[in-house]
């Protein structure tokens, strides 16, 4: 019983670490996506000479 409780605690800790890692990766990917998207819109704006930006 004590061993399974320890295993459960260890599994919970691993799950928390894994979820934190996935959350950090997701935030980084979102930042990269936003940077690329903003760069594309600025490039298109310069290319077309219009005045549109996504807000």
Domain ranges of the chain: 1-55
Q: Note the pLDDT tens digit of each residue in 1-49.
A: 456 877 888 889 999 999 999 999 999 999 999 999 999 888 888 887 7
Residues 6+ apart with CB under 8 A from 37: 54
pLDDT at 50: 66
Question: What pTM does this model have?
Answer: 0.61
Residue 51 has pLDDT above 70, yes or no: no
**Alpha-carbon distances of 45 from 18, 42, 53, rounded to whole Å:** 40, 5, 7
């Amino acid at each position: 019983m004590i061993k399974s409780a320890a295993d459960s605690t260890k599994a919970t800790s691993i799950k928390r670490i894994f979820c934190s890692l996935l959350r950090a990766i997701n935030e980084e990917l979102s930042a990269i996506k936003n940077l690329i998207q903003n760069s594309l819109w600025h490039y298109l704006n310069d290319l077309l000479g219009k005045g549109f930006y996504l807000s």
